[in-house]
């Protein structure tokens, strides 16, 4: 029998209703035992269900990051992924997953582009709808985030995204609209940012009027973590749940606001009803248990992740068919780059999970080709923060901010970083300050310059052999780490000889100077200690490449660059990686570059390497997925979900501080509709690699493009068909992309826009007829003068191809009259 939510609400006191409107803690809603109202657990995030502990909690399956999922262009596979993530969430006792992230790649700088799907709203929407359908089929709610205009991390807690209405509707709102209307998402998370000056948690027009009113969203809206700013406004805006708890803006403040007549009790009741409705939808009333977190490592999820990794790999270049590789027994292959042995599996921030394992490319290649002689040289660094010590660190913990009193506990963590985010050290009660001390031994592995560093959310300092060396204590200042609640890294360098031993003593205190906006419950300490790679490392790598039959360079970024909390400084490969690749390519003409990043990179050496694969961050099966593609056990199934520019000057908002990163707290989306390929095409700037690009190990022919009729009446849908044939030697998949070009319109439009696509798998010689469907919205633009979607009468050209720049077929269709869909309620 369905629950009578109204009867339940009638039975509640006002404070009880209000209690539902904020979390109990970081990850739970508030229960009301008297009325058998359950607590619901939520968990990050998009590429795995982390559970309640930020670092080193029960392990979990790590899936490819958002951009890698979108690069598959495979809705069916993403639906399976959503379903798998639902099972993963359940293993962590969670019934709400804080995913997917559907903000767009507006600029190349956004630190969270790795987590977002695409620069194109149609592709992002298609992937998100599939993800949400799969996820919610398991009874776990999706939380589509971050609604809306959250396209950068600069001043992320306060920035206002000032977005022209047309761009808002046609680009940034579109994935949310589709995931609500077509995917039936049960929850939405508002962004930290403001839009046109108003915080998203308070944004009545966008939450109450657009999301609920115009799109008919009947689910729950929650704030991003600590993004609630106002007691009354956010409730009136229809933002139901303040997270995390305990309440900062709600609780007693909200009860008082109702009692003082500053907002009607009916507004509280409406929000409380939606919290109950979510609990009902995810089955928490039927089964209110909050089981302990499990770390089950499921073989079927391992297999799915491996498949996904290869399906998202984009073969950017493959001159002379260098790939797939077929190394003969006895051949020598030089593996070069840090990422060959230190697998880069995910991005940073709240999407980070404690993966069950991390398969490394070097291991996977050795395993697949036991007869081949592999060597490995790291060549050049890739880090942003000095690498951690991979050995366990034991902390002695004191229940005071200054080491006074007795030690109350010890805590051992697997490496030299500890995070207490929404959790406390052992023996330390909520709200109690604490301090801790750890001793580490550092042994220099070889001669050269070594770096030691500290990052902390809380104060920290480090002494080497008893002498103070690093101070993030006296001058601690909030910086860009730990969601901006940690300081910037402080670094100390010194030359050491191989075998030299140093005693490091690190101290940490939770007590901080009174920082406005400091988030309670975010404490962390990270100690870096590592030799810095230098000339000798480049020389050794180049020498190995010269003496080998083949060189494979693993280059790119890591989760410290592609990270929540800060944007990227640019799109150049960090440290000396460009120099390394250029020198290796000069030493060995058979050089393959495997790139890993969450967004575009500049490739000054691109003409000198024969093959390039973009593997993104493919999750825990990283090494296997990359090896599968390199060796041809799997095909490179991915296509770029974003344009790759040839120069930074060619990118959106470059050189205009008002447009990026923003001035005086506002970032103006002055480019309007022109982001990604829309920008490149409208301005006639050729990209390095176009949106939708990705080669295959086989070849496809497209033919016979036709519409099911030459003219269309307003309101009709149009069927489009074509034949795709695999004319190459191997099985493979083709992503057929359909772009619509409006030949004449009363408002300026981008030259073409993606409106449909399909991925088709074909054996050699096989052909298939594909059918795509276009609706009126595929032809429409948003007319801000009329507040309506309008498809104007006239001729449209439908363009079909293998990327935005590789259009193979065109056909015209005429819309006989104007179609208008007003959006106002």
Active site residues: 224
Q: How far is the CB of 224 from ligand BGC (least distance, A)?
A: 5
Q: How far is the CB of 17 from ligand BGC (least distance, A)?
A: 25
Cβ atoms within 10 Å, residue 297 = 15
Q: How far is the CB of 117 from ligand BGC (least distance, A)?
A: 14
HSE-CB for 261 with a 13 A CA cutoff: 0
Q: How far is the CB of 309 from ligand BGC (least distance, A)?
A: 23
Which residue is closest to ligand BGC by CB?
Answer: 350
Q: Torsion over CA of 171, 176, 178 and 184, rounded to 10 degrees? A: 180
Q: How far is the CB of 199 from ligand BGC (least distance, A)?
A: 14
CA 106/CA 651 separation, integer angstroms: 9
CA distances from 259 to 254, 270, 347 (A): 9, 17, 46
Q: How far is the CB of 487 from ligand BGC (least distance, A)?
A: 18
Cβ atoms within 10 Å, residue 157 = 19
- Could you tell me which residues come within 8 angstroms of residue 804 by beta carbon, excluding any fewer than 6 positions away? 643, 677, 681, 690, 691, 692, 737, 739, 752, 754
DSSP state of 414: S
* Residue whose CB is less far from ligand BGC, 224 or 671: 224
Annotate 626-653 with b (16+ C-beta within 10 A) or e (fewer).
Answer: bbbbbbeebbbbbbbbbbbbbeeebbbb
Angle, CA of 40, 42 and 47, to the nearest 5°: 155
- Could you tell me which residues come within 8 angstroms of residue 236 by beta carbon, excluding any fewer than 6 positions away? 204, 208, 263, 267
CA 739/CA 810 separation, integer angstroms: 10
Q: How far is the CB of 142 from ligand BGC (least distance, A)?
A: 12
CA 678/CA 616 separation, integer angstroms: 23
777 exposure class (CB count in 10 Å sphere: 0-12, 13-18, 19+): middle
Where on the chain is the footprint of ligand BGC (CB under 6 A)?
Answer: 44-45, 98, 145, 224-225, 350, 483
3-class DSSP state for residue 772?
Answer: strand
- Best CA proximity match to 552, nearest among 361, 774, 305: 361
CA 492/CA 502 separation, integer angstroms: 13
- Could you tell me which residues come within 8 angstroms of residue 170 by beta carbon, excluding any fewer than 6 positions away? 121, 673, 781, 782
* Residue whose CB is less far from ligand BGC, 484 or 642: 484
Cβ atoms within 10 Å, residue 465 = 10
CA 687/CA 670 separation, integer angstroms: 21
CA 12/CA 31 separation, integer angstroms: 12
Q: Which backbone phi and psi does 504 adopt, to 5 degrees?
A: -105, 130
Residue 712: both structure tokens together: 């269309």
3-class DSSP state for residue 304?
Answer: helix
* Residue whose CB is less far from ligand BGC, 337 or 349: 349
- Best CA proximity match to 623, nearest among 358, 325, 304: 358
* Residue whose CB is less far from ligand BGC, 485 or 789: 485
What count of residues does the chain have? 825
Asked if residues 242 and 18 have their Cβ atoms less than 8 Å apart, the reply is no
Angle, CA of 496, 498 and 499, to the nearest 5°: 105
- Best CA proximity match to 498, nearest among 537, 531, 469, 533: 531
CA 260/CA 486 separation, integer angstroms: 39
CA 380/CA 648 separation, integer angstroms: 23
Annotate 734-744 with b (16+ C-beta within 10 A) or e (fewer).
Answer: bbbbbbbbbee
DSSP state of 28: B
């Amino acid at each position: 029998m369905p629950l009578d939510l109204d009867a339940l609400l009638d039975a509640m006191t006002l404070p009880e209703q209000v209690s539902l409107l904020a979390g109990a803690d970081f990850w739970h809603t508030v229960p009301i035992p008297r009325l058998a109202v359950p607590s619901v657990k939520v968990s990050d995030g998009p590429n795995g269900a982390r559970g309640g502990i930020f670092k080193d909690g029960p392990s979990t399956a790590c899936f490819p990051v958002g951009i890698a999922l979108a690069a598959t262009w495979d809705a069916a596979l993403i639906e399976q992924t959503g379903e798998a993530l639902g099972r993963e969430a359940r293993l962590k006792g969670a019934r709400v997953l804080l995913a997917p992230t559907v903000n767009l790649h507006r600029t190349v700088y956004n630190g969270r582009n790795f987590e977002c799907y695409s620069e194109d709203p149609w592709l992002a929407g298609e992937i998100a709808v599939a993800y949400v359908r799969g996820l919610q089929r398991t009874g776990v709610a999706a939380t589509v985030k971050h609604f809306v205009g959250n396209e950068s991390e600069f001043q992320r807690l306060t920035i206002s995204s000032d977005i022209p209405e047309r761009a808002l509707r046609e680009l940034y709102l579109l994935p949310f609209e589709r995931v609500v209307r077509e995917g039936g998402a049960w929850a939405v998370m508002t962004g930290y940012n403001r839009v046109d000056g108003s915080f998203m948690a308070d944004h009545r027009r966008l939450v109450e009027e657009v999301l609920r009113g115009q799109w008919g969203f009947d689910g729950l809206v929650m704030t991003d973590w600590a993004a609630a700013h106002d007691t009354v406004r956010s409730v009136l805006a229809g933002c139901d749940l303040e997270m995390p708890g305990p309440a900062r803006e709600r609780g007693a403040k909200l009860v008082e606001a109702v009692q003082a007549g500053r907002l009607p009790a009916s507004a509280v009741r409406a929000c409380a009803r939606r919290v109950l409705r979510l609990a009902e939808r995810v089955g928490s009333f039927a089964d209110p248990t909050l089981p302990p977190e499990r770390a089950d490592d499921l073989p079927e999820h391992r297999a799915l992740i491996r498949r996904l990794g290869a399906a998202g790999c984009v073969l950017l270049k493959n001159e002379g068919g260098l790939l797939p590789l077929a190394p003969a027994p006895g051949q020598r292959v030089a593996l070069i780059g840090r990422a060959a042995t230190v697998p880069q599996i995910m991005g940073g921030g709240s999407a980070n999970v404690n993966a069950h394992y991390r398969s490394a490319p070097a291991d996977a290649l050795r395993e697949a080709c036991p007869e081949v002689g592999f060597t490995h040289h790291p060549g050049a660094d890739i880090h942003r923060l000095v690498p951690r010590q991979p050995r366990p660190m034991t902390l002695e913990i004191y229940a005071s901010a200054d080491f006074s009193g007795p030690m109350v506990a010890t805590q051992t963590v697997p490496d030299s970083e500890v995070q207490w985010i929404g959790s406390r050290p052992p023996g330390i009660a909520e709200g109690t300050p604490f301090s801790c001390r750890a001793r580490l031994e550092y042994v220099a592995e070889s001669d050269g310059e070594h770096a030691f560093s500290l990052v902390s959310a809380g104060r920290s300092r480090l002494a080497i052999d008893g002498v103070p060396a690093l101070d993030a204590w006296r001058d601690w200042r909030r910086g860009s780490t730990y969601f901006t609640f940690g300081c910037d890294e402080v670094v100390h360098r010194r030359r050491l000889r191989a075998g030299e031993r140093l005693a490091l003593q690190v101290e940490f205190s939770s007590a901080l100077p009174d920082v406005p906006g400091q988030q309670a419950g975010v404490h962390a300490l990270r100690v870096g200690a590592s030799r810095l790679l230098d000339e000798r490392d480049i020389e050794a790598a180049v020498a190995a490449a010269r003496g080998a039959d083949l060189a494979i360079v693993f280059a790119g970024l890591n989760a410290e660059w592609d990270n929540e909390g800060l944007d990227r400084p640019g799109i150049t490969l960090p440290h000396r990686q460009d120099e390394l690749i250029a020198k290796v390519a000069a030493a060995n003409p058979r050089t393959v570059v495997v790139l890993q990043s969450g967004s575009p990179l500049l490739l000054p050496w691109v003409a000198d390497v024969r093959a390039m694969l973009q593997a993104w961050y493919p999750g825990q099966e990283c090494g296997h997925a990359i090896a599968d593609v390199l060796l041809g056990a799997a095909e490179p199934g991915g296509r770029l979900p974003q344009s790759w520019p040839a120069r930074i000057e060619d990118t959106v908002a470059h050189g205009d501080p008002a447009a990026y990163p923003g001035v005086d707290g506002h970032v103006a989306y002055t480019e309007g509709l022109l982001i990604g390929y829309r920008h490149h095409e409208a301005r006639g700037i050729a990209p390095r690699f176009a949106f939708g690009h990705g080669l295959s190990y086989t070849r496809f022919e497209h033919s016979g493009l036709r519409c099911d009729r030459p003219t269309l009446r307003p309101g009709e849908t149009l069927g489009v068909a074509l034949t795709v044939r695999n004319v190459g030697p191997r099985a493979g998949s083709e992503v057929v992309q359909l772009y619509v070009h409006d030949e004449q319109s009363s408002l300026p439009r981008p030259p073409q826009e993606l409106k449909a696509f399909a991925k088709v798998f074909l054996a050699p010689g096989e052909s298939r007829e594909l059918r795509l469907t276009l609706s009126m919205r595929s032809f429409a633009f948003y007319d801000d003068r009329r507040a309506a979607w309008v498809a104007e009468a006239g001729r449209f050209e439908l363009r079909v191809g293998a990327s935005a720049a590789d259009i193979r077929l065109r056909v015209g269709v005429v819309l006989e009259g104007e179609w208008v869909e007003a959006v106002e309620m």
